[in-house]
Amino acid sequence: MSKYRKLIATTALAATLTAGPALAEKLGLGRPALPEEIAAWNLDVSPDGTGLPEGSGSVEDGEALFVDYCAVCHGDFAEGVGNWPKLAGGEGTLADKDPLKTVGSYWPYLSTTWDYVHRSMPFGNAQTLTPDEVYAVVAYILYSNYIVEDDFVLSKENFLDVEMPNADGFIVDDRETAEAHFWQDEPCMENCKETVEITMEAAVLDVTPEETKARKVQEMIDATNPANKPAEAKVEEAAVAAEPAAEEPAATAPAAEEAAALDPELVKAGEKVFKKCKACHQVGEGAKNRTGPVLTGIVGHAAGAAEDFRYSKPMEKAGEEGLIWSEDELHAFLAKPKAYMKKTKMSFAGLKKDDDIAAVIAYLKSFE
């Protein structure tokens, strides 16, 4: 810490010399926080259990909750889906190339898991689990990491008894000692090495996003820079070039024709509304199931029918019983999803305005 402390001392000194306002006595601004307000927000839980509410939950209950609320991203066994975080496994891999860091293999404190599930999960529907439910989900995550048995019940009382496998795996920042040799007063300026070879090229891996590759960007710069145009070129031409998105690729043309009957203004408005849905749903070409199912072609099609998507039981049942997402049905669902279908997985509260619902349905109809 020596260098850092020295620096603090000098900054503090400098601060008194520059234009910072003089520290005055209290200004009497703000108002005292009420106990209920503090209770509502002061939810963080520390490693020693400070902040844990009363409650308990079993692995068994946790499994059911996990399947309903978490598995869509984290997998039934907390093994992770796609790029979403894996919560289990990876024990003993931390020194390997590409270690697998999970609650079991990496997280040093159980309090962190409880706190995070309680305040930040489920994604898109945070702060909706009760303390008992959080205890249960955490118990299940422990179970999926073989840290507890299947009959385990996690509670405030036994919370600190759980031993996290990587509890001793951390050291406090030691850069100023372990990397002390990076502090050198006069670095080398000449003949610093004998030879220089290129050992790796980014172009070989080729993972730079396609649409933003250097060369493509360069084409765009060229196209939009009037200096690169023949002198006869008019401003409008440059304007067209500046908006390559305006030139739709041929593949989307049929869809555009089919959607011709739709009010383009309404579709546009719907696209805006759809931003609220985007956290969980994809639509259009290349759309994939995410937290929610693909919505391409949803209007007029059977409920619960997206391939490979695991629907809630009631949605699955509604599909089997022949529910078709007509505009009216969809309208009712989007107004209040949970009222329309109890226990649907869709955690969205609903669209308040009828206009928004009509717009988003028009937008969905524009994809076939």
Partner 1 sequence: MTFGFKDKKPSRRQFLSGAAAVGAGAVAAGAARAAGPDPLITEVQDWASITGEGVDATPYGLPIKYEADVVRRNVPWLTADPISSINFTPIHALDGTITPQGCAFERHHSGAIEMRKRDYRLMINGLVDTPLVFTYEDLERFPRENHVYFCECAANTGMEWAGAQLNGAQFTHGMIHNMEYSGVTLRTLLEEAGLDAAGDLKDKWVYVEGADASSNGRSIPMEKALDDCLVAFKANGEALRKEHGYPVRLCVPGWEGNMWVKWLRRIEVTDQAVQSREETSKYTDTLADGTSRKWTWAMDAKSIVTSPSPQSPIKHGHGPLVITGLAWSGRGAIKRVDVSRDGGKTWETARLAAPGEKMALTRFYLDTEWNGEEMLLQSRAMDETGYVQPTKTQLREVRGENSIYHNNCIQTWWVQPNGEAENVEVS
* Touching partner 1, residues 194-223 (CB under 8 A): 195-203, 205-210, 212-221
Instruction: Say whether residue 253 binds partner 1 (CB under 8 A).
Output: no
Task: Pick from 234, 246, 321, 342 the residue near partner 1 by CB under 8 A.
Answer: 234
Instruction: State the Cα angle at 99 between 140 and 161, rounded to 5°.
Output: 35
Instruction: Say whether residue 123 binds partner 1 (CB under 8 A).
Output: yes
Task: Pick from 16, 36, 151, 193 the residue near partner 1 by CB under 8 A.
Answer: 193
Instruction: Say whether residue 268 binds partner 1 (CB under 8 A).
Output: no
Q: Give the number of other CB atoms < 10 A from CB of residue 110.
A: 24
Task: Pick from 13, 36, 83, 342 the residue near partner 1 by CB under 8 A.
Answer: 83
Q: Give the number of other CB atoms < 10 A from CB of residue 249.
A: 7
Instruction: Say whether residue 17 binds partner 1 (CB under 8 A).
Output: no
Of residues 53-82, those binding partner 1 (CB under 8 A) = 73, 82
φ, ψ (nearest 5 deg) of residue 324? -110, 135
Q: Return the CA Rg of the chain.
A: 28
| Piece of 40-48, 62-70, 135-143, 294-302 that binds partner 1 (CB under 8 A) | 40-48
Of residues 286-305, those binding partner 1 (CB under 8 A) = 290-291
CA distances from 159 to 25, 77, 104, 136, 137 (A): 43, 22, 15, 12, 13
Instruction: Say whether residue 107 binds partner 1 (CB under 8 A).
Output: yes
Residue 36: helix, strand or coil by DSSP? helix
Are 133 and 65 spatial neighbours (Cβ–Cβ below 8 Å)? yes
Minimum CB–partner distance for residue 219 and partner 1 (Å): 6
| Piece of 184-192, 254-262, 312-320, 327-335 that binds partner 1 (CB under 8 A) | 184-192
Minimum CB–partner distance for residue 269 and partner 1 (Å): 18
Instruction: Say whether residue 243 binds partner 1 (CB under 8 A).
Output: yes
| Piece of 8-16, 61-69, 258-266, 318-326 that binds partner 1 (CB under 8 A) | 8-16
Instruction: Say whether residue 246 binds partner 1 (CB under 8 A).
Output: no
In sequence order, what are the residues at sequence separation of 6 or more whose Cβ sits closer than 8 angstroms to the Cβ of residue 237? 229
Of residues 295-354, those binding partner 1 (CB under 8 A) = none
CA distances from 27 to 23, 34, 188 (A): 11, 20, 54
Rounded distance between C-alpha atoms, residue 235 and residue 205, angstroms: 39
